Amino acid sequence: MELSKVIEERRSIRHFIDKKLERKIIEDILEHAIMAPSAHNKQPWHFVVVQDKYQKLDISLLLNDYSSDPVKTTCDVIRDCSALVLVFADIEDEVMDVQSVGACIENMILRARDLDVASLWIGYIIKIESELQRKFSLEKRLIAAVALGYTDYFPSKRPRKTLNEVCLWY
């Protein structure tokens, strides 16, 4: 798909169908993620791919304990997606390294769209950072998670501010 079409047609998907994502597709998405630029080329990202349904359920229930209503949908997404990619990172310079990880996540969700794979960028996951560090024996910071899978519901475009509202020219 042309890049501008991929960008335009990407959506946050919160409804997943029960269809397995093949490992080679997940690997393809992650191979694109790690092509992202990073400050000083430090590549601070580290992924944990969770496909096991009991592990996903466990993570969903852990997050549910911290939940107010909007987070409940995210818990359901974690339970129902085919693969949950937890994005950990070695953070030394917070502003620089978090930007790098953001670039890598954007690559991930754009490549997913390119392959007709549905995705959701999940920031709420940081509420259970310490639980997940313990669960996977990692001392790295948890930055986000990305839910991947297939959907039969493609939402319409969410509103955006106009360029005039967000851009000054000198």
Ligand X SMILES: Cc1cc2nc3c(=O)[nH]c(=O)nc-3n(C[C@H](O)[C@H](O)[C@H](O)COP(=O)(O)O)c2cc1C
- Is residue 12 at the binding interface for ligand X, with CB under 6 A as the rule? yes
Q: Which residues pair with 147 in a beta bridge?
A: 84, 120
CB of 118 to ligand X, least distance (A): 11
Query: Nearer to ligand X by C-beta: 21 or 81?
Result: 81
Q: How far apart are CA 19 and CA 55, in angstroms?
A: 17
Q: Is 104 in contact with 34 (CB distance < 8 Å)?
A: yes
Tokens of 54: 């009991």
122 binds ligand X (CB under 6 A): yes
User: Which listed residue (6, 36, 43, 121) binds ligand X by CB under 6 A?
Assistant: 121
Question: Is there binding between residue 103 and ligand X (CB under 6 A)?
Answer: no
Sign of dihedral through CA atoms 30, 50, 122, 45?
Answer: negative
**Residues in 56-95 at the binding interface with ligand X, rule: CB under 6 A:** 73-74
Binding site for ligand X (CB under 6 A): 11-12, 14, 73-74, 120-124, 158
